[in-house]
Amino acid sequence: MGKVLIIGAGGVGGVVTHKCASHPEVFTDICLASRRVEKCDKIAKEIKYPIKTARVDADNTKELVELINKFKPELVINVALPYQDLTIMDACLETGVNYLDTANYEPRNEAKFCYKWQWDYKERFEKRGIMALLGCGFDPGVTNIFCAYALKHYFDKIHFIDIMDCNGGSHGHPFATNFNPEINIREITQRGKYWEKGVWKETEPLSLYKNFDFPKIGKRKMYLLYHEELESLVQNIHGLKRIRFWMTFGEAYLTHLRVLQNVGMTRIDEVDYNGQKIVPLNFLKAVLPDPSSLGATYSGKTNIGCMINGVKKGKNKKIYIYNVCDHAECFKEVNAQAVSYTTGVPAMIGAMLMMKGDWKGAGVFNVEELNPDPFMERLKVDGLPWVIKNVK
Ligand code: NDP
């Protein structure tokens, strides 16, 4: 039904390209563009359906506008880095093209994890008559849609949400991050934060934890983190009393992280090195394994879901909605590990719903503002089936 431009040829970009190519009835023409065209060409070679490739610096709006005007897509899927969200949104505004991403905008020199900058584009997107869909990966993304689906079909009011993200897999490297190391390490080393009774409460990084028995994985220790979907869910799920986000980490991972922090390698400010300015975390990224290379040796599963508590017809009710995804199966299907897969598949589904007009509107939207039903249906057929359990 139309042309799509995918920006970013990393772990997630590879999955989005594979999955879009498996739906030629919707994505008739696909272009994958990134900072290094050879990374796009490598992904294109893995796929039978013809994929166009291009080089673009997504920090540069003028270059983006030129590429968009040349390829003329209906939609741009941004799976580059959060630093590029605003330049890509600017290019979409200038060319009148719809936009989708999986992570909130981040300034380079400060970890913020907030939607403010992108929500500020609402009026401009409305006036231009185009749509921006924010955070359409798994978390944010599917987790928000699980909440919207639960509210629509299972509750009159939702009071408590715990989002729980477990990677029970093993890639065989002493230390690696499952998605872009700069963003991943920023996220984990920031102060913890959750929302309760109308106020945000802060905690020391990784200081709050509890055990949970994850279906198909087993008992794991999960730590409270701040995650960007909390910000939009607090606004969009009315009547909430508390929302928190939890992620599991193994002891070896935490020990490596602690050492890297202690020696200053996770800093995001510039330091002088032999008369040259470098950001230690950028340098660390350059020497860590590329997330898109982890799939070949990955075994085990991920389990990401939401424990939701609320009221239906005057009675208290609790449900658990989750997806389990197997690293090795993802690799067989699209040459990627499950963290890239669970992000790339929802991005493709969001794009498909926008292309088909099932999700439409002018302005800037978080995914829970749209009808969750067609998205939940597509998850089942496109590789991320989910389970809903009543919990006593
Ligand atoms: P990668 O680092 O593997 O890939 C990012 C890609 O973007 C790379 O190919 C990189 O190029 C390219 N890129 C970076 N800067 C530019 C630029 N200026 N112009 C053009 N291309 C550029 O990251 P991932 O694939 O792991 O993650 C992609 C996105 O997905 C991130 O924003 C991440 O935060 C988000 N994410 C969201 C999740 C969710 O559930 N919502 C979960 C996981 C990730 P090069 O190869 O040359 O470095």
Burial class (CB in 10 A: 0-12, 13-18, 19+), 75: buried
Alpha-carbon span 245 to 356, nearest angstrom: 32
Between the CA of 103 and the centroid of ligand 1 the distance, in Å, is: 10
* Structure confidence at residue 112 (pLDDT): 86
Which residue has a Cα nearest atom 32 of ligand 1?
Answer: 81
**For residue 390, how far is its CA from the centre of ligand 1 (angstroms)?**
36
Specify the DSSP class assigned to residue 290. P
- For ligand 1, atom 44, the nearest C-alpha belongs to 179
Q: Which protein residues are within 6 Å of ligand 1, measured from CB? A: 8-13, 34-36, 39, 56-59, 79-82, 84, 102-103, 137-141, 179-180, 183, 291-292, 339, 343
Q: How far is the CA of 84 from the centre of ligand 1 (A)?
A: 10
High-pLDDT (> 70) share of the chain, %: 100
The sign one gets for the Cα dihedral 137, 141, 145, 147 is: positive
Q: How confident is the model at residue 111 (pLDDT cuts 50, 70, 90)?
A: confident
What residues have CB less than 8 Å from 94, skipping those under 6 apart?
61, 65
290 Cα to the center of ligand 1, angstroms: 11
- CATH fold label, 2-137+343-374: Rossmann fold (3.40.50)
Pocket test for ligand 1, best of 146, 303, 343, 349 (most atoms within 8 A of CB): 343
Task: Output the CA 16–ligand 1 centroid distance in Å.
Answer: 12
In the prediction, which pLDDT does 109 show? 84
**pLDDT tens profile 349-382:** 999 999 999 999 999 999 999 999 999 999 999 9
Residues 6+ apart with CB under 8 A from 152: 372, 373
* DSSP letter for each residue of 19-44: HHHT-TTTEEEEEEEESSHHHHHHHH
Which mutation among 35, 136, 283 tests ligand 1's pocket best, with the greatest number of atoms within 8 A of CB? 35
Per-domain residue ranges of the chain: 2-137+343-374, 142-335+377-390
Q: Which atom of ligand 1 is nearest to the CA of 84?
A: 18
The 10s digit of each residue's pLDDT in 150-204 is: 999 999 999 999 999 999 999 999 999 998 888 889 889 999 999 999 999 999 9
Q: Is the whole-model pTM more than 0.85?
A: yes
Domains 2-137+343-374 and 142-335+377-390 share a fold: no
Residue 4, H or E segment:
strand 2-7
Atom of ligand 1 nearest to the CA of 141: 41
Question: Position 10: which residue type?
Answer: G
Among 180, 247, 302, residue to substitute to test ligand 1 (most atoms within 8 Å of Cβ): 180
CATH architecture of 142-335+377-390: 2-Layer Sandwich (3.30)
